[in-house]
Amino acid sequence: MNDVPTLNPAIVLVRPQLGENIGKAARAMLNFGLTDLRLVAPRDGWPNPDAGPAASGADEVLANARVYATVQEAVADCRHIYATTVRKRDLWKPVVTPEAAAVAMRARGFQQAVLFGAERSGLETEEVAIAQDILTVPVNPAFTSLNLAQAVLLVAYEWHKAADTTPAVVTDYEPPADHATLEGLIVQVDAALDDAGYYHVPSRVAAAKRTLRNLLTKPGYNGGEIRTLRGMVHAIVAGRRGNRPRD
Amino acid sequence: MNDVPTLNPAIVLVRPQLGENIGKAARAMLNFGLTDLRLVAPRDGWPNPDAGPAASGADEVLANARVYATVQEAVADCRHIYATTVRKRDLWKPVVTPEAAAVAMRARGFQQAVLFGAERSGLETEEVAIAQDILTVPVNPAFTSLNLAQAVLLVAYEWHKAADTTPAVVTDYEPPADHATLEGLIVQVDAALDDAGYYHVPSRVAAAKRTLRNLLTKPGYNGGEIRTLRGMVHAIVAGRRGNRPRD
């Protein structure tokens, strides 16, 4: 996250129908650090008893949600507004991906909003006109039915990701063992194989030893793993020799 | 999308509890082009009557879902396996983001799988051990409760995005008008202001004209917009002159 907190964009649900979906949207928001939920003319009024259970603990988002009669009132303090729609409604506005919107919103830093339409009908053309940009999630063209909370989730996810410093790959466990340790394992297995008569065709010994070395080199085992493997090899060798402990 | 189709990764739900969540996961998969759903020991058996309605049309994914008794059987044909978990279970595996996993899976092109645990309990440590990598969605550390279908959605979204060619910003509408067209608007508005007596302080005329030019230059209006604006200016000027059409 940035040291200086960016004003989190408002998530504006326009005429949402089901309280359950409002709750799920709140949960998706809080999963990714968004808390400013605004409701425009929710069909069943507000508060809605179905929202809380669906929010699964994102109660603070619901408790702080504000209700407005119109989109214009809901975004009165916002200086850049996105309208989320899968359909191209207005050919005179840029159409951006959630990722591009997130990066742009992070760069601006002033109050912004993302509008989401009702579950079935989406945003009215007049509501899309209030926005500067259209936000469209690229989906499988053969199956575009993205539900309300999922759309909110993806926008919130990209918002979080745009400032997230999690490395793409974390490998903060024990690094590969040093070569002397690996060599110790190779020597031990080699001796066990030799002892067992594995190298019985003289012309193939060199190739077999090279193969053994490659097999044990490939995984990049760390010190703990090599200690465990050496213990296992020792147990098998000892067992074969008839030294297995009695049950 | 690639010309040569990549084998889509299998989405493996391990001991899922609610049919509704299986249906939502199927919907999230199909939204982003994934169709290979595998269920390990679903709590309420399979098929589950609650799955279909929640899939909202992703019926083909449910119809083709395969059921297995164990994770091992479900991933028998998979050559690289991710275990999705928010908790660090095994310090000896790389932990990757959904984006990094998607990019890596696209690059491999052979059969792969992503495991998701049960709604509350997640994956068992023994099941995580089956995977090569751990997949963790970076979330708000203060609110990490991501539900099953949401986790599937984010993995599927990144998979789709890794090969998606949608431009970040699409502005395929009419480009800004050429300068002669813009100049025509400026001249018209300038004349209307002059006619209305707006330039009545001689010392400020040059600055006022410059401001007018800047105001009309900033938006990058296209030809259609400028035609509309010229019509509006004409209407206001005509109306002020008493030429307004009678009601």
Is B149 found in the same domain as B191? Answer: no
Instruction: Compute the residue count for chain A.
Output: 247
End-to-end CA gap in chain A: 57
- By C-alpha distance, the chain B residue nearest A132 is B219
**Domain containing residue B88:** 10-161
Residues B223/B227/B229/B235 CA torsion (nearest 10 deg)? 180
Q: Which residues contact A150 (CB under 8 A, 6 or more apart)?
A: A28, B28, B31, B150, B153
Chain B nearest-CA distance from A62, in A, is: 14
A chain contacts of residue B160, beta-carbon cutoff 8 Å: 138-140
How many domains is chain A partitioned into structurally? 2
Q: What is the pLDDT of residue A88?
A: 65
- Greatest pairwise CA separation for chain A in angstroms: 89
Bridge partners of residue A39, in order along the sequence: A13, A67
Q: What is the pLDDT of residue A3?
A: 44
How many other C-beta atoms lie within 10 A of the C-beta of residue B140?
A: 19
Is A68 found in the same domain as A139? Answer: yes
Is B157 found in the same domain as B58? Answer: yes
Residue A147 lies in a domain: yes
For A34-51, how does the pLDDT look when each residue is reduced to its tens digit (9 = 90+)?
Answer: 999 999 999 999 999 999
B228 touches chain A (CB under 8 A): no
A143 touches chain B (CB under 8 A): yes
Burial letters for B98-126: b for 16+ Cβ neighbours within 10 Å, e otherwise?
Answer: bbbbbbbbbeeeebbbbbbbbbeebbbee
ipTM of the complex: 0.87
Smallest Cβ–Cβ distance between A153 and the set B33, B150, B224 belongs to B150
Is B156 found in the same domain as B44? Answer: yes
Parallel, antiparallel, or unpaired: how do β-strands A95-96 and B169-170 relate?
antiparallel
Portion 39-58 of A in contact with B at CB < 8 A: 56-58
Residue A4 lies in a domain: no
For B50-90, how does the pLDDT look when each residue is reduced to its tens digit (9 = 90+)?
Answer: 999 999 999 999 999 999 999 999 999 999 999 999 766 55
- Whether the per-residue pLDDT at A122 is higher than 90: the answer is yes
Bridge partners of residue B194, in order along the sequence: none
Percent of chain A with pLDDT over 90: 82
The pLDDT confidence band at residue B145, using thresholds 50, 70 and 90, is confident
How many other C-beta atoms lie within 10 A of the C-beta of residue B86?
A: 17
Residue A47 sits in a domain whose CATH number is: 3.40.1280.10
Q: What is the pLDDT of residue A1?
A: 40
Q: How many CB pairs under 8 A join A and B?
A: 118
Is A44 found in the same domain as A107? Answer: yes
For A198-232, how does the pLDDT look when each residue is reduced to its tens digit (9 = 90+)?
Answer: 999 999 999 999 999 999 999 999 999 999 999 99
Task: Please name which of B204, B182, B181 lies closest in space to residue B193, comparing C-alpha atoms.
Answer: B204
Distance between CA atoms of B134 and B131, rounded to whole angstroms? Answer: 7
Q: Hey, what are B142's tokens?
A: 């203060």
Residues B43/B47/B50/B53 CA torsion (nearest 10 deg)? 150
Is A156 found in the same domain as A236? Answer: no
Helix or strand or coil: residue B244?
coil
A chain contacts of residue B140, beta-carbon cutoff 8 Å: 30-33, 160
Mean pLDDT of B114-130: 93
Mean pLDDT (chain A) is 92
- Whether the per-residue pLDDT at B247 is higher than 70: the answer is no
DSSP symbols for B56-67:
TT-HHHHHT-EE
Percent of chain B with pLDDT over 70: 93
Distance between CA atoms of A127 and A129, rounded to whole angstroms? Answer: 5
Mean pLDDT of B107-122: 93
The pLDDT confidence band at residue A133, using thresholds 50, 70 and 90, is very high
Distance between CA atoms of A61 and A6, rounded to whole angstroms? Answer: 18
Q: Please identify, among B132, B161, B190, the residue that sits at the C-terminal boundary of a domain.
A: B161
A147 touches chain B (CB under 8 A): yes
Distance between CA atoms of A34 and A157, rounded to whole angstroms? Answer: 10
Q: Please identify, among A161, A187, A203, the residue that sits at the C-terminal boundary of a domain.
A: A161
A chain contacts of residue B95, beta-carbon cutoff 8 Å: 169-171
Binary contact (B138, A166; C-beta < 8 A): yes
DSSP symbols for chain A:
--SSPPPPPEEEEES---HHHHHHHHHHHHHTT---EEEES-TT-SS-TTHHHHHTT-HHHHHT-EEESSHHHHTTT-SEEEEE-SS---TTS-EE-HHHHHHHHHHH-S-EEEEE-BTTTB--HHHHTT-SEEE-----TT-----HHHHHHHHHHHHHHTT----SEE--SPPBPPHHHHHHHHHHHHHHHHHTT----GGGHHHHHHHHHHHHHTT--BHHHHHHHHHHHHHHHHIIIIIPPP-
Residue where the block lists tokens 């020792």? A234
Task: Please name which of A71, A99, A65, A68 lies closest in space to residue A83, comparing C-alpha atoms.
Answer: A71
Q: What is the pLDDT of residue B171?
A: 79
Is B193 found in the same domain as B103? Answer: no
Residue A208 sits at the vertex; the CA angle it makes with A204 and A210, to the nearest 5 degrees, is 125
Is B121 found in the same domain as B73? Answer: yes
Q: What is the pLDDT of residue B149?
A: 95
Binary contact (B171, A32; C-beta < 8 A): no
- Whether the per-residue pLDDT at A87 is higher than 70: the answer is no
B chain contacts of residue A27, beta-carbon cutoff 8 Å: 145, 147
Residue B61 lies in a domain: yes
Is B26 found in the same domain as B122? Answer: yes
- Compute CA distances B71 → A159, B22, B96, B189, whole Å: 34, 17, 21, 73
Residue B1 lies in a domain: no
- Whether the per-residue pLDDT at A2 is higher than 60: the answer is no
Binary contact (A150, B154; C-beta < 8 A): no
Residue of higher predicted confidence among A117 and B240 = A117
Helix or strand or coil: residue B245?
coil
Q: Please identify, among B128, B161, B194, the residue that sits at the C-terminal boundary of a domain.
A: B161
Residue A114 lies in a domain: yes
Q: What is the pLDDT of residue A89?
A: 55
Check: CB of residue A33 under 8 Å from CB of residue A6. Answer: no
Q: Ramachandran region of residue B84, left (φ > 0), alpha (ψ -120 to 50) or beta?
A: beta
Distance between CA atoms of A147 and A140, rounded to whole angstroms? Answer: 14
**In this predicted structure, which of B3-17, B156-170, B176-190 has the lowest mean pLDDT?**
B3-17
Residue B173 lies in a domain: no
A chain contacts of residue B172, beta-carbon cutoff 8 Å: 91
Portion 181-220 of A in contact with B at CB < 8 A: none
Binary contact (B138, A164; C-beta < 8 A): yes
Distance between CA atoms of A75 and A91, rounded to whole angstroms? Answer: 22
Is B201 found in the same domain as B142? Answer: no
Portion 74-133 of A in contact with B at CB < 8 A: 91-97, 99-100
- Whether the per-residue pLDDT at B152 is higher than 90: the answer is yes
B161 touches chain A (CB under 8 A): yes
B chain contacts of residue A171, beta-carbon cutoff 8 Å: 94-95
Is B202 found in the same domain as B143? Answer: no
- Element housing B12 (H / E): strand B10-14
Q: What is the pLDDT of residue B144?
A: 87
Q: What is the pLDDT of residue A5?
A: 55
Mean pLDDT of B39-56: 97
Residue B117 lies in a domain: yes
Binary contact (B169, A225; C-beta < 8 A): no
- By C-alpha distance, the chain B residue nearest A144 is B31
Check: CB of residue B186 under 8 Å from CB of residue B208. Answer: no
Q: What is the pLDDT of residue A158?
A: 98
Mean pLDDT of A98-118: 95
Is B109 found in the same domain as B81? Answer: yes
Binary contact (B140, A33; C-beta < 8 A): yes
- Whether the per-residue pLDDT at B115 is higher than 80: the answer is yes
Distance between CA atoms of B212 and B186, rounded to whole angstroms? Answer: 8
Residue A1 lies in a domain: no
A5 touches chain B (CB under 8 A): no
Query: Which DSSP state fits B81?
Result: E
- Whether the per-residue pLDDT at B2 is higher than 70: the answer is no
